[in-house]
């Protein structure tokens, strides 16, 4: 038993570590396929960004909005990183059943920590498994936030965590039995029932059980590592690593939600000068590699939890948009196309192939086929994202507000819309009239510009107008920018007049 446990564990560990290192390099090269971002916009204020990551992880600031889900997930997340020492201990137990970590192995605070976190991690993942089952979309409809998620991958990850948690507690019980614990001790406060269960077994049997359980714990850990290393698009597993850089590189260093003013349109990592755009400037996004590297990192970080989906007004009113499914589609497309792009493939703005046939000869056929798919197009056209999906978004930002790993859905949707409007002139018919009116009259309704000040005649006090009544603003305390709706739309004008009266 001991020899078999040692061989199986070491082989899986060597293979797992080698593949994991390769996978990290693959993900780095994949993310670097994206466009640069303007200098300093994602790396300013290192101290604040680091504090944001620590606060969001340890405080679970987004997850804890979901009550028991956040509470259970906190222990699962903390257990994953803080119980690594128990994996080291399991390797030692392969060679000596009663081996414990030097210095801290029999230190009471450490033993109490392992007992508590090990127990709570196991209970936490059991809670999340039950919640997933209760939310499983067994019937047609959109009520489950998990609708469209990869359930097979989720079950695999949840099973791995549960097996490891149970193995940790089983080893604690075996350790107590081997150590001759005959009465309750604080160091075994959670595993004491297991200590009693194993108490009557012989030393040889206990040792074999230690070898077996340690092997199960190690094998499960490295089988997980092997599987996720071979599937770098398995966001439900990789989010536990990628969430940290994704949060660190979020739009606002102070941790504020990535909403607000539209980001400047960039090309090649630099804002576009619309007074004199370059010949090679790309307006918006029409190919997945035209997203920024932060966009590609966003796609890979999605854990398919569905919180964005559950809060999306488009999804909840029967529209085709699900923020989660959109990000998943972009992720799957980007990863499938990556071999083609890494080989030098890609299309110019004129649609010409950049790489030679010789450069692409070793690219898998599946990647070449994926490269031919339009990023935006109907199902009949083979498109990755249907135009109706793009135009269903109200840009309310609920998805960004809810995402526990700070994915910036709205920015990516708007980047694709920008290309559709500015290059393809493809948008809902209702928008066509609005855009023409904006171009010709400066307002969405196509009303005459002189009507902007008509509301001034409907109040019984004088309102000075910049450029007409006053030129110098030094004596003006407030400048009221009314806007199109406030000046021209009948219902909005009521608010405008009331606010002007207050001022």
Whether the full predicted model's pTM is greater than 0.85, yes or no, is yes
C-alpha span between 136 and 144 (Å, rounded): 6
Task: Name the 3-class secondary structure at 353.
Answer: strand
Mean pLDDT, the chain, rounded, equals 92
The single-letter DSSP state of residue 292 is B
Q: Which two tokens stand for residue 49?
A: 């960004």
CA distances from 411 to 121, 310, 416, 418, 467 (A): 35, 19, 9, 10, 36
Are 204 and 174 spatial neighbours (Cβ–Cβ below 8 Å)? no
Task: Name the 3-class secondary structure at 188.
Answer: helix
Domain regions of the chain by residue span: 2-32+67-230, 249-427, 445-502
Tell me the average pLDDT across 174-196: 92
253-259, Cβ contacts within 8 angstroms, sequence gap of 24 or more? 253/44, 253/45, 253/48, 253/49, 253/52, 254/45, 254/48, 254/52, 255/48, 255/51, 255/52, 255/55, 255/56, 257/397, 257/400, 257/401, 258/400, 258/406, 258/408, 258/411, 259/397, 259/400, 259/401, 259/410
CA distances from 164 to 214, 219, 486 (A): 10, 10, 61
350 band by pLDDT with thresholds 50, 70 and 90: low
What residues contact 345, with CB distance under 8 A and at least 6 apart? 353, 354, 355, 359, 360, 363, 371
pLDDT value at position 154?
A: 94
Q: pLDDT of 64-98, one tens digit each? A: 888 899 999 999 999 999 999 999 999 999 999 99
What are the respective helix, strand and coil percentages of the chain, to the nearest 5? 60, 0, 40
C-alpha span between 33 and 300 (Å, rounded): 13
Q: Please name the residue ranges forming H helices in 107-150.
A: 108-134
Through-space distance between the first and last CA atoms of the chain, rounded to whole angstroms: 84
Tell me the average pLDDT across 387-401: 95
139 band by pLDDT with thresholds 50, 70 and 90: low
pLDDT of 342 over the 70 cut: yes
What residues contact 409, with CB distance under 8 A and at least 6 apart? 308, 323, 326, 327, 399, 400, 403
For the chain, what's the residue count?
503
209 band by pLDDT with thresholds 50, 70 and 90: very high
Share of the chain above pLDDT 70, in %: 98
Tell me the average pLDDT across 305-321: 94
pLDDT of 394 over the 60 cut: yes
pLDDT value at position 137?
A: 61
490-502 in b/e form (b: 16+ CB < 10 A) is: eebbeebbeebee
C-alpha span between 355 and 289 (Å, rounded): 15
C-alpha span between 193 and 205 (Å, rounded): 18
C-alpha span between 393 and 315 (Å, rounded): 9
pLDDT of 403 over the 60 cut: yes
C-alpha radius of gyration, the chain, whole number: 29
Are 235 and 300 spatial neighbours (Cβ–Cβ below 8 Å)? yes
SS3 of 433-492: the string is HHHHHHHHHCCCCCCCHHHHHHHHHHCCCCCCCECCCECCCCCCCCCCCCHHHHHHCHHH
pLDDT value at position 430?
A: 84
Mutual angle of helices 84-95 and 2-31, in 10-degree steps? 150
C-alpha span between 369 and 339 (Å, rounded): 11
C-alpha span between 16 and 224 (Å, rounded): 8
351 band by pLDDT with thresholds 50, 70 and 90: low
pLDDT value at position 213?
A: 97
Q: pLDDT of 353-372, one tens digit each? A: 777 778 888 899 999 999 99
C-alpha span between 341 and 203 (Å, rounded): 59
pLDDT of 140 over the 60 cut: no
Q: Write the DSSP assignment of 369-381 as a string of letters.
A: HHHTS-SB--TTT
Burial class (CB in 10 A: 0-12, 13-18, 19+), 100: middle
209-212, Cβ contacts within 8 angstroms, sequence gap of 24 or more? 209/174, 210/93, 210/97, 210/98, 210/171, 210/174, 210/175, 210/178, 211/1, 211/2, 211/5, 211/93, 211/94, 211/97, 212/1, 212/5
Are 186 and 112 spatial neighbours (Cβ–Cβ below 8 Å)? yes
Burial class (CB in 10 A: 0-12, 13-18, 19+), 449: exposed
Q: pLDDT of 190-205, one tens digit each? A: 999 999 999 889 999 9
Tell me the average pLDDT across 30-37: 94
Are 239 and 302 spatial neighbours (Cβ–Cβ below 8 Å)? yes
pLDDT value at position 502?
A: 93
């Amino acid at each position: 038993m001991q020899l078999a446990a040692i061989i199986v564990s070491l082989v899986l560990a060597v293979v797992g570590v080698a593949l994991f290192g390769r996978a990290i390099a693959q993900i780095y090269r994949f993310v670097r396929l994206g466009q640069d971002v303007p200098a300093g916009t994602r790396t300013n204020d290192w101290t604040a960004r680091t504090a944001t990551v620590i606060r969001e992880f340890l405080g679970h600031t987004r997850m804890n909005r979901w009550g028991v889900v956040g509470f259970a997930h906190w222990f699962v997340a903390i257990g994953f990183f803080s119980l690594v020492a128990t994996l080291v201990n399991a390797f030692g137990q392969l060679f000596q059943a009663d081996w414990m970590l030097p210095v801290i192995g029999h230190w009471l605070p450490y033993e109490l920590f392992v007992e508590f976190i090990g127990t709570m991690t196991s209970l936490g993942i059991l809670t999340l498994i039950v919640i997933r089952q209760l939310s499983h979309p067994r019937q047609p409809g959109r009520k489950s936030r998990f609708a469209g998620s990869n359930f097979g991958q989720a079950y695999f990850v949840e099973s791995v965590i549960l097996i490891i948690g149970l193995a940790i507690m089983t080893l604690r019980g075996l350790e107590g039995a081997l150590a001759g614990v005959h009465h309750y001790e604080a160091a075994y406060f959670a595993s004491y029932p297991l200590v009693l269960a194993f108490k009557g077994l012989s030393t040889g049997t206990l040792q074999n059980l230690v070898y077996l359980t340690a092997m199960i714990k190690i094998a499960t850990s490295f089988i997980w590592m092997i599987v996720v290393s071979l599937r770098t698009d398995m966001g439900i597993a990789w989010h536990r690593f990628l969430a940290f850089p994704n949060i660190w590189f979020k739009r606002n260093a102070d941790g504020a939600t990535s909403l607000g003013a539209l980001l400047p349109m960039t090309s090649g990592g630099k804002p576009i000068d619309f007074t004199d755009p370059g010949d090679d400037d790309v307006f918006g996004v029409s190919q997945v590699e035209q997203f920024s590297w932060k966009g590609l990192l966003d796609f890979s970080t999605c854990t398919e939890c569905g919180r964005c989906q559950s809060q999306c007004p488009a999804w909840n009113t029967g529209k085709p948009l699900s923020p989660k499914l959109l990000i998943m589609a972009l992720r799957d497309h980007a990863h499938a196309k990556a071999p083609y792009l890494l080989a030098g493939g890609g299309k110019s703005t004129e649609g010409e192939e950049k790489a030679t046939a010789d450069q692409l000869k070793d690219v898998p056929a599946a990647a070449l086929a994926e490269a031919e798919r339009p990023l935006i197009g109907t199902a009949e056209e083979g498109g990755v994202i249907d135009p109706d999906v793009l135009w269903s978004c109200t840009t309310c930002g609920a998805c960004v507000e809810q995402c526990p790993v700070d994915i910036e859905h709205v920015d990516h949707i708007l980047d694709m819309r920008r290309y559709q409007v500015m290059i393809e002139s493809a948008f809902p018919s209702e928008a066509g009239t609005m855009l023409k009116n904006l171009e010709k009259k400066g307002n969405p309704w196509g009303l005459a510009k002189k009507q902007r000040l008509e509301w001034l005649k409907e109040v019984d006090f004088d309102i000075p107008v910049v450029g007409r009544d006053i030129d110098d603003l030094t004596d003006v305390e407030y400048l009221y920018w009314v806007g199109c709706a406030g000046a021209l739309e009948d219902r909005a004008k009521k608010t405008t007049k009331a606010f002007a009266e207050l001022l």
